[in-house]
Amino acid sequence: NGETVPLASQAASDILTDGDPMWCPAGVTPGSASCTASYATFALLLGDPIFSSGGPAKSGVIWIRDNYAGADSSAILIDGSSLSVMKDYSLTLKGGWTGVGAGVNTSTPSVFDDRLWILNWNADVTLSDIEISSASGGAALTVQTSKKITLTRVHVWSNTGGGGANLNNTSGAGDVVVTDSEFDGNTGGS
CA distance 123 to 174: 9
pTM: 0.87
CA distance 2 to 57: 34
Region 147-160: mean pLDDT is 95
Question: Residue 90 phi/psi, 5° resolution?
Answer: -60, 140
CA distance 142 to 2: 36
Among the listed residues 152, 144, 138, the one whose alpha carbon sits nearest the alpha carbon of residue 182:
152
- Are 156 and 132 within 8 A, CB to CB? yes
Quick check: 118 pLDDT over 80?
Answer: yes
Most confidently modeled range among 134-138, 174-178, 185-189: 174-178
Instruction: Calculate the average pLDDT of the chain.
Output: 87
